[in-house]
Structure 1
Amino acid sequence: MSALLSKLLLFISIPVLFYGKSHEYKHPFHVSTTEIAYNTKSKSLEITCRIFTDDFETILNQRFKKKIDLSAKNQAKEMNALVKSYVTTNLKFVVDGKSVEPNYIGFENDHEATNIYLEIENIAAFKKLAVSNGILYDLFDDQMNILHVEKNGARKSTKINFPDKQMIINF
């Protein structure tokens, strides 16, 4: 009886290993990348946030209780509103101790990732940039978020893992 029970448990557990949670999410790492470039001419921070599209659609679906298809051209206006709402709720910026709001520019799909574009205007110069990033924390407890900041040819990077949200770059 013990051998039969062992075989039965093995038979049940193999499909769970292959078709459980890992099947829902097609990649083994949960990561987003936020790149910020300081544009000296326009005195602005140009921001690109890159998120795996399947993960992003999953969290938007859960958050807004709607069918999400970021590639549907006929739903572009609605998808833009949902993307803007999620990103501006989960990505906050403080420049030299002052909270600043980004302008949402839009998003585009790039193969398996979604690029979201933001801009913060009227930044004459800065020494310290703090970013609070909770993107996909409401979906994964192993989420990693990476930040790259480029200013006057210098590039600095940092990363955080769930549950930490605060990233600070000093120039």
Structure 2
Amino acid sequence: MRKLKFVVLLLCCTFFAVEAGVRHPLHVSTTEVNFNAKDKTLEISCKIFSDDFESILARLYKQKTDLSNASMKTAMDELVKKYLLSHLQIKANGKATTLNYIGFEIDHEATNIYLEVEKISVVKSIEVSNTILYDLFDDQMSIIHIVKGATRKSSKILYPEKKFAANF
């Protein structure tokens, strides 16, 4: 738990450093999976540094990327969706799920991406397989949070590791 608190503190410092105009020294993203029992859904959000995210989108899809340009929103939605659906998989109760892309928004120097899994009536286990930005950095770190009610389970995974599972 102490290591996780340190990583979260480091992540916060990194975001503040970016706000101050300093290049971020860490390659990190966060993914949160939240079970919404009322709606019987998994609500997923990912936070990725926008400059890194634009770099990998441009490299992989060989086109100009600008996530903050409103006139390119439709094209960027397609790239973000394509990338996330190929780099993030979630199993609920041991079974693969279908991720529905909701959209993205820019939050200062980060991009927040939202996805959803429908028709999940009960959650006994969640497994997240995350390779976001692994095709750009070999020191990528992913912070994963899985939330069910008042229970929150978190971990960091470091390249080349890609999976985190939580049982409830």
Report the aligned-residue RMSD: 1.0
- Alignment partners' CA distance in 1, 2:74 and 2:151: 36
- The correspondence for 1:119, drawn from 91, 116, 120, is 116
Which letter maps to 2:68? S
- Could you list the runs of 5+ residues in structure 1 that have no partner in the other structure? 1-24
- The correspondence for 1:129, drawn from 118, 126, 131, is 126
Mapping 1:92-111, distance limit 5 Å: 92-111=89-108
Give identity over the alignment, percent: 54
Counterpart position of 1:67: 64
Q: Which moved more, 1:104-113 or 1:158-167?
A: 158-167
After TM superposition, give the deviation of residue 26 of structure 1 in Å: 2.2
* TM-score (norm. length: structure 1): 0.84
Which letter maps to 2:97? V
Which letter maps to 1:116? I
- Alignment partners' CA distance in 2, 1:168 and 1:147: 10
- Alignment partners' CA distance in 1, 2:92 and 2:112: 23
Partner secondary structure for residue 48 of structure 1: strand
After TM superposition, give the deviation of residue 62 of structure 1 in Å: 0.4
- The correspondence for 1:40, drawn from 37, 61, 71, is 37
* TM-score (norm. length: structure 2): 0.86
- The correspondence for 2:165, drawn from 162, 165, 168, is 168
- Alignment partners' CA distance in 2, 1:51 and 1:38: 21
- Alignment partners' CA distance in 1, 2:52 and 2:71: 21
How many residues are paired up?
A: 147
- Could you list the runs of 5+ residues in structure 2 that have no partner in the other structure? 1-21
Q: Give the structure with higher Rg (CA).
A: 1
Stretches (4+) displaced over 4 A:
none
CA offsets, 1:119-142, max 9 Å, x none? 001001111111110000000000
- Alignment partners' CA distance in 1, 2:164 and 2:151: 17
- Alignment partners' CA distance in 1, 2:114 and 2:158: 22
Counterpart position of 1:142: 139
